[in-house]
């Protein structure tokens, strides 16, 4: 048998460690991980951007420390840049965990460990930065770079903008962690209007090991949140208080007055166990686009259950009509509702020309049935959709773009006291995409959306 060089062994080990970060943390760092901690590490391996919103005491900061050390050991030249809102949080919280995980494993890592840095080589190091100067996060362009932002809701957006400028590397990762305390900013947007860009993870106290075991047993993982603390929080704050929502449930506080459907309700509908009844027919909603950045999106549902979404880019109205016609022949739906505003009218006309039944054109800009309450039919339809989410009568797929668009829906009232939804032009001015998935969903559910006990369509 030939002699295998140290470099070859190191390369094989690095590949193995990269493929299984949780096993690296357990075997090389002696870490006792629970399921969500392992999920975070796996998400950093697989996705460019990962955001974790969490309750108190879930072990997220220790997981971040494991991610830093794992990243450095996976590549010969790698950088890990960490930050948090204050010097105390960088030095005494995140880097205390890095130092704790490093101690006892010096032979594995080598290098020089300082209060907020670990030097393994000129282009191989981790560093903790605490600053409000965005320029300190610029100029990092190594091939393998990991940014970790702890307590991310408290970090200025200018810092995130600077970090994004260094995310151009071939192997770049960004991990955000925090309690969901703020209803604005980069961390909030990662779970709402820009969710399609992120792999998101939610940790409630009720997911953690100590809350899943028998209350009569002593906590199996004493460093994590305990049933006693959760019960005291419930008594002190109340389950409806923002503090309880953030610190125990790991949810954004439900105090934003202009949010149509809360993220909590949307996520509760993801994969919900809804069974279609024997009388529930297939219904289809079609949001039509032609060329450019917008897409034609088709939503197919049976009863409360969304079966799937189809999407098409850069196709003309005849091609869209052809896709819908093929679905009608295949699925024999009860209703097909097509947004007929603008070019959608051409799709409706062609489908009717083909003498396909159950096709209805819908103009959501028309007057609402309840004219005193809603500015137009679109506001009326989406308010009915909101009621379905609140009643738990909705099962949607884990589709990032759909979730992002639903969570970004905002409403207001005009001078006549009528509810109106933020329009597509307003969303574009904010740099947000057209809510094509959300619109297709609303069209698919149109026939049973009710407001004040009458049907909208």
The domain covering 6-203 belongs, at the CATH homologous superfamily level, to P-loop containing nucleotide triphosphate hydrolases (3.40.50.300)
Torsion of CA 150, 156, 158, 160, to 10 degrees: 20
Portions of the chain given CATH number 3.30.420.240: 282-455
The span from the CA of 101 to the CA of 103, in Å, is: 6
Sign of the CA dihedral with 116 first, then 122, 125, and 130 last: positive
pTM of the model: 0.73
DSSP-H helix ranges across 155-275 = 157-164, 186-191, 209-212, 227-237, 242-247, 263-269
Portions of the chain given CATH number 3.40.50.300: 6-203
| Residue with token string 């950088």 | 79
The span from the CA of 64 to the CA of 98, in Å, is: 8
Cα atoms in the 13 Å half-sphere on the side-chain side of 173: 27
299 near 440, Cβ under 8 Å? Answer: yes
Chain centre distance of CA 406:
12
Residue-level pLDDT, tens digit, the chain, 457 residues: 333 333 344 788 899 999 999 999 999 999 999 999 999 999 999 999 999 999 999 999 999 999 999 999 999 889 999 999 989 899 999 999 999 999 999 888 889 999 999 999 888 999 999 877 888 888 787 789 999 999 999 898 999 999 999 898 889 999 999 999 888 899 999 999 899 999 999 999 999 999 998 877 888 899 999 999 999 989 878 887 778 889 999 998 875 668 888 888 898 899 888 777 777 899 999 999 866 557 899 999 999 999 999 999 888 889 999 999 999 999 999 999 999 988 889 999 999 999 998 899 999 889 888 888 889 999 988 988 998 998 888 999 999 889 988 988 888 888 778 889 988 778 777 777 788 999 999 999 875 444 344 344 4
Cα angle 30, 36, 41 (rounded to 5 degrees) comes to: 65
Q: Into which CATH architecture does domain 282-455 fall?
A: 2-Layer Sandwich (3.30)
The span from the CA of 85 to the CA of 389, in Å, is: 35
Among the listed residues 30, 153, 15, the one whose alpha carbon sits nearest the alpha carbon of residue 73: 15
426 near 420, Cβ under 8 Å? Answer: no
184 CB-near residues (< 8 Å, 6+ apart): none
The span from the CA of 288 to the CA of 284, in Å, is: 13
């Amino acid at each position: 048998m030939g002699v295998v060089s140290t470099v070859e062994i190191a390369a094989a080990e690095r590949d193995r460690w990269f493929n299984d970060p949780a096993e690296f943390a357990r075997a090389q760092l002696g870490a006792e991980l629970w399921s969500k901690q392992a999920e975070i590490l796996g998400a950093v391996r697989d996705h460019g951007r990962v955001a974790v919103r969490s309750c108190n005491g879930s072990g997220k900061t220790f997981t971040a420390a494991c991610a830093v050390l794992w990243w450095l050991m996976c590549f010969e030249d790698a950088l890990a840049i960490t930050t948090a809102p204050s010097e105390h949080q960088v030095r005494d919280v995140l880097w205390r965990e890095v130092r704790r995980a490093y101690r006892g494993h010096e032979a594995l890592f080598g290098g020089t460990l300082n209060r907020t840095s670990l030097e393994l080589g000129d282009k191989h190091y981790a560093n903790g930065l605490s600053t409000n100067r965005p320029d300190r996060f610029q100029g990092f362009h190594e091939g393998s770079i990991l940014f970790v932002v702890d307590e991310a809701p408290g970090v200025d957006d200018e810092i995130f903008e600077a970090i994004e400028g260094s995310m151009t590397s071939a192997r770049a990762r960004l991990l955000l962690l925090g309690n969901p305390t703020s209803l604005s900013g980069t961390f909030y947007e990662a779970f709402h209007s820009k969710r399609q860009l992120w792999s998101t993870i939610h940790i409630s106290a009720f997911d953690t090991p100590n809350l899943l075991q028998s209350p009569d047993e002593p906590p199996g993982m004493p460093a994590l949140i305990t049933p006693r603390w959760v019960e005291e929080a419930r008594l002190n704050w109340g389950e409806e208080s923002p503090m309880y929502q953030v610190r125990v449930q790991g949810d954004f506080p439900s105090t934003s007055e202009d949010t149509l459907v809360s993220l909590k309700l949307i996520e509760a509908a993801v994969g919900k166990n809804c069974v279609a009844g024997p009388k529930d027919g297939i219904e289809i909603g079609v949001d039509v686009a032609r060329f450019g950045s917008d897409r034609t999106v088709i939503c197919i549902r049976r009863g409360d259950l969304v079966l799937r979404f189809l999407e098409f880019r850069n196709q003309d109205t005849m091609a869209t009509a052809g896709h819908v016609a093929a679905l009608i022949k295949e699925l024999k739906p009860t209703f097909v509702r097509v947004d007929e505003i603008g070019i959608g009218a051409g799709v409706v006309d062609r489908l009717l020309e083909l003498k396909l039944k159950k096709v209805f054109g819908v103009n959501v800009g028309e007057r609402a049935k309840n004219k005193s309450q809603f500015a137009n039919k679109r506001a009326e339809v989406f308010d009915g959709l909101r009621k379905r989410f609140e009643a738990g009568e909705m099962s949607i797929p884990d589709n990032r773009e759909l979730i992002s668009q639903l969570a970004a829906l905002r409403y207001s009232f005009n001078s006549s006291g009528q509810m109106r939804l933020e329009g597509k032009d307003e969303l574009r001015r904010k740099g947000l995409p057209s809510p094509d998935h959300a619109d297709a969903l609303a069209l698919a559910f149109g026939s049973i959306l009710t407001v004040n006990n009458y049907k909208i369509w």
